[in-house]
Amino acid sequence: MNCLVAQSGGPTTAINASLSGVISAALKDQNITNIYGALNGVQGILNENIIELHKTFTNDKSLEQLKHTPAMFLGSCRFKLDKEITSPQYEKIFDTFAKYDIKYFFYIGGNDSMDTVDKLSQFAKEQGVDIKVIGIPKTVDNDLFGTDHTPGFGSAAKYVATSILNIAHDAYIYDMKSVTIVEIMGRNAGWLTAASALARNEYNVSPDLIYLPEVPFDTYHFLNDVKNLISKKNNVIIAVSEGIKDLNGNYVSATATNQPTDGFGHALLSGTGKALEGIVKTALNCKVRSIEFSVLQRSAMHIASKTDLDEAFSLGNKAVEYARENLTGIMLTLNRKSNDPYTIDIDYIPISEVANKEKQIPRHWINEAGNDINDELLAYMKPLIIGESPIKFENGLPHYMNINHLLDKA
C-alpha cells in the first residue's frame, strides 16, 4: 500500500519540515511501498498531478535539505471542496486514491486545509473506505484551534523580532525625531505582530507601541500615544497588524485607500502601515516611514527557528505513526507542558473540533490600553524562537531543494 501527501494554504518556512518528517517516517515504514506527493494541494489529486517522493528523497541529506527549503515543495492551492460531500468531486478524489492504492493521506495546511481533511475523512467514513486522512497544522498566523501553537509561527516570529531589532539599530543612528511603522501579517489574529515585542532587550524598548486586530483601533488614542512618546524620545517604532479595524469594524487599510488612485485612475491598495503613515505625517511634523514585511516574514528560511523546524518535522513523523495506529479524521497538535524549561507533547484532536475556527490572542494577554502585550504572552512566545537551524549555503546563497517540477507546468 501507498501513502499520499499534499500541502495547502499560505507558505511558511516550516511546512517542508513537516513534509520531510512524513517522508522520513514513511520511508522507514515497511508497509508503505510508494510515497506520492500531489502538486498544488487537492487540485493535484483532482488533476492527477502526482509525483513520486520516494524516488526524490532517498537519503537523509535530501530530507535535511527539504527541511530547510521555504514555502511548499509540492506547491499550494486555495481550494475549498464542495460543501455537499456527496458531489462527484469527492468520488474523483477517492478514485485517484484507489488508483494509486493510497491508504494514508496527509494534508499539511491551515484552517481551509483542515476543512478539507474534515470532509474527506467524513466521505471515507460514509463510503466505508479504509483510508486514513490526517491533518498536519501549519500557519504563520498561529490561529489554529486545538494546538498550543502552530508550526511556521515560531520562525515567522523570529524573523519579525530580528527585523524589528535591526530596524531599531537602523533608526537610532540619527539624532532627530522619527516614527517608523512596521506592518506585520495577521488579518484577524495578532500573534505575529505581538512577536515584535521579543525584540526588546536591555537597551531596546522598541516596538514602543503594538496594535493588534483583537482590539478596535482608535485613531484618536493612537495619535495621542505617538505624540506622547515622540515628545520624550527621538525614535518611535510601532508594530501594527495588517488587519486592525476601526471602531466600526472596518479595516484601517481600507479607510485611507478609498481616495487614492494611480495615474490611470485605479485605486492604489495602500496597506495598513501606509495608512497610519499618512495619519502620523498629517498630525506630526517629523520623519515618518512605513515598512511592510510582506512575504519575507513567511519565507525567510535563513532566520528560521530551530525549535519550530524540529517540531514541524516531528509532527510529520508522528502523523505516519498515527495513521498506522488506524487514526483518521484528526489534526496533530502540540501540547505545552511548561514554559521554562520548555516542554511539549505531540497529541491529536478530532478534526471536527478544529475546522473553521480561529484562535485569537486572549484579551487578558493584551495590556489594558490595547497598545501593547503583557508578560504572559511574552513568556508564551519566547521558547518558540529559540535555536538557529543551520542551512547549507552554496555560492553565498541558501542551497534549497530544486523546485523545477512546480515551474515546468506553466
**How far apart, in whole angstroms, are the C-alpha atoms of residue 196 and residue 193?**
6
112 is catalytic: no
- Minimum Å gap between C-beta 396 and a copy of itself is 4
Determine if residue 368 is left, alpha or beta; phi over 0 gives left, psi from -120 to 50 gives alpha, anything else beta: alpha
What is the CB neighbour count within 10 angstroms for residue 221?
14
DSSP 224: H
Q: Are 123 and 149 in contact (CB under 8 A)?
A: no
CB nearer to a copy of itself: pick between 324 and 405: 405
Whichever of 247 and 295 has its CB closer to a copy of itself, that residue is 295
Residue with smaller CB distance to a copy of itself, 122 or 204? 204
The alpha carbon dihedral of 267, 268, 270, 274 has a sign of negative
The distance of closest approach from Cβ of residue 388 to a copy of itself in the complex, given in angstroms and rounded to an integer, is: 6
* Contact call for residues 104 and 320 (beta carbons, < 8 A): yes
Quote the distance between the C-alpha of residue 384 and its chain's center: 13
CB of 279 to a copy of itself, least distance (A): 7
Closest approach, Cβ 119 to a copy of itself, in A, equals 21
3-class SS of residue 156: helix
- Between residues 291 and 327, which has the closer beta carbon with respect to a copy of itself? 291
Distance CA 253, CA 279 (A): 11
> Would you say 334 or 354 has its CB closer to a copy of itself?
334
Cell for 180? 517608523
Q: Could you tell me the smallest distance in angstroms from the CB atom of residue 154 to a copy of itself?
A: 9
Shortest Cβ 61–a copy of itself spacing (Å): 17
Of 112, 141, 225, 372, which one is the catalytic site residue? 141
Strand partners, 289: 180
- Closest to a copy of itself by CB, 229 vs 327, is 229
Q: Nearest-5° angle of CA 249, CA 292, CA 69? A: 115
SS3 262: coil
Nearest approach, Cβ of 54 to a copy of itself (angstroms)? 21
- Gap between the Cα atoms of 237 and 250, Å rounded: 24
Q: How many residues does the chain have?
A: 410
CB atoms within 10 A of CB 227: 13
Chain-centroid distance of CA 368 in Å reads 27
306/97 Cα distance (integer angstroms):
34
Element holding 254 (H helix, E strand): helix 252-255
Question: Cβ(372)–Cβ(197) under 8 Å?
Answer: yes
| Cβ proximity to a copy of itself, 98 vs 386, nearer residue | 386
What residues act catalytically? 141
